[in-house]
Amino acid sequence: MNLLRYYLRKVFTVLRNEVLVLPSRIVVLLFFLSMLLIPLVVDDPYFIRILVLTSIFAIFAASWDLLSGFTGQINFGHALFFGVGAYGSAIMNQHGLPHWATIPLGALVAVAAGLVVGVPCLRLRGTYLALTTLAFPIILLGIVFAFPGLTGGELGISGLTRLSTSRTVTYYIVVVIMLLSCAAMWKITDSKIGIIFHAIREDELAVKAAGINTTLYKLLAFCLSGFFAGIAGGLYAHFMRIAGPSTLEVQMSFQVVIYSVFGGIATIWGPVGAVFILVPLMEFFRLWPEFRTLMFAFVVILILLYMPGGLLPWIRNKVEEECPRCKIRNLVTRRVCRVCAADMR
């Protein structure tokens, strides 16, 4: 009982001193809570469906950020991992495996794909890497079309088992996986590994000189990113109940890059936030079907022209600022730093 009280008090202290002092943290907290509570309030099948798809793309976008935002290995073929995850779980599901096994196994196949792509790409850097990775999903797409017996060709593999027969349970499965994997990615990038990823992007030579095996870390980034994108692909295949060639298209790879840069790269929360802004916005534009994609493109262009660093970091920098002395973030209205009491003006 005492232990419980101790933990409760600790949670309360952290909440008051660390979370509620910064608007960005409050937003993240509200996001987690509202994602978990929405189905209790809303029971509109269309709305729930949009949220599920948005969550799946949020995992996908965050996994791109983990690889390309953090290590700077710009990947233009991220749809490869998504497609491999989707097709992997679909083929296994066709042979009788249940979905709780096919999604992780599909993700592992995507990890293998990450290795297959990562090893040759280790020697390439910068723009070469970006343009080469674009090729991989197109190669796989050609193979998919050439062997319709295994992959269903242009129609894809359909009739997969549902995640669950109940809408609410499906929602919770996807959303909990999304929250867990995004939190995991955030934690990874916040750890020592994340710092090394940052350093590889900024100056690979210096990281090598510091005695760190950059090859290993770059492969690790490819594998981790492939794993999470594979989970997204598997979830997508089972939610849509079809794994088709559209999961491998160039548009898919570009879309995830758009989400991430729109939301701000090297943050994890940026791409997730961007997906939760842009995907529902796309649905809103469904009111004018023929102008939908055009409006989307214009929104992206306008945001980039005025906030080239991404939308969410821009907003964050407007409401919070760093203490000049201890580099701790503070609300912009504060006159003294909340930790070291230095003058903020």
Partner 1 sequence: MIFDIVITSLIKGSTYAMLAIGFSLIFGVARIVNIAHTAFYMVAAYCIFYTTTQLGFNPILAIFVAVILVSLLGLITFKLLIAPIREHEAAVLIATIALAIALQEVMMILFTGDYRSVPPLVPGFATIMGVKVFYQQLLTFVSVLVVLGLMYLFLQYTRLGLAIRATAQDREVANLMGMNESQVAMLAMGISVGLAGVTGAVLAPLSIVEPHMWNHPLAMMLAVVVLGGLGSIKGSLYAAFILGTAEALVVFMIPAGAYLKGAVALSIMVFVLLVRPAGLFGVQFEEER
Backbone angles phi and psi of 82, in degrees to 5: -60, -50
Residue whose pair of structure tokens reads 């903020």 in the numeric block: 344
Site for partner 1 contains 115 (CB under 8 A): no
Is residue 134 within 8 A of residue 250, CB to CB? The reply is yes
Q: Which of 78, 162, 66, 74 is nearest to 113 (CA)?
A: 78
155 belongs to the binding site for partner 1 (CB under 8 A): no
Q: Is 305 in the site for partner 1 (CB under 8 A)?
A: yes
Q: Is 291 in the site for partner 1 (CB under 8 A)?
A: yes
CA 301, chain centre distance (Å):
21
Residue 54 CB, shortest distance to partner 1, in Å, is 20
What is the x/- site pattern for partner 1, positions 258-277, by CB under 8 A? x--xx--x------------
State which residue, 198 or 338, has the beta carbon closest to partner 1: 198
Work out which of 127, 166, 213, 215 binds partner 1, going by CB under 8 A. 127
Only segment of 58-66, 94-102, 167-175, 249-257 that touches partner 1 (CB under 8 A): 249-257
Query: According to the binding rule CB under 8 A, does residue 294 interact with partner 1?
Result: yes
Closest by CA to 151, choosing from 244, 53, 283, is 244
Nearer to partner 1, 43 or 154 (CB): 154
Decide the pairing of beta strands 242-243 and 157-158: antiparallel
The full DSSP string for 281-338 is: HHHHGGGSGGGHHHHHHHHHHHHHHH-TT-HHHHHHHHHEEE-TTT--EEETT-SB-T
Place of tokens 């955030």: 186
Smallest separation, CB 232 to partner 1 (Å): 20
Residues making contact with partner 1 (CB under 8 A): 74, 120, 123-125, 127-128, 130-132, 134-136, 138-143, 145-146, 203-205, 250, 254, 257-258, 261-262, 265, 290-291, 293-294, 296-298, 300-301, 304-305, 308-309
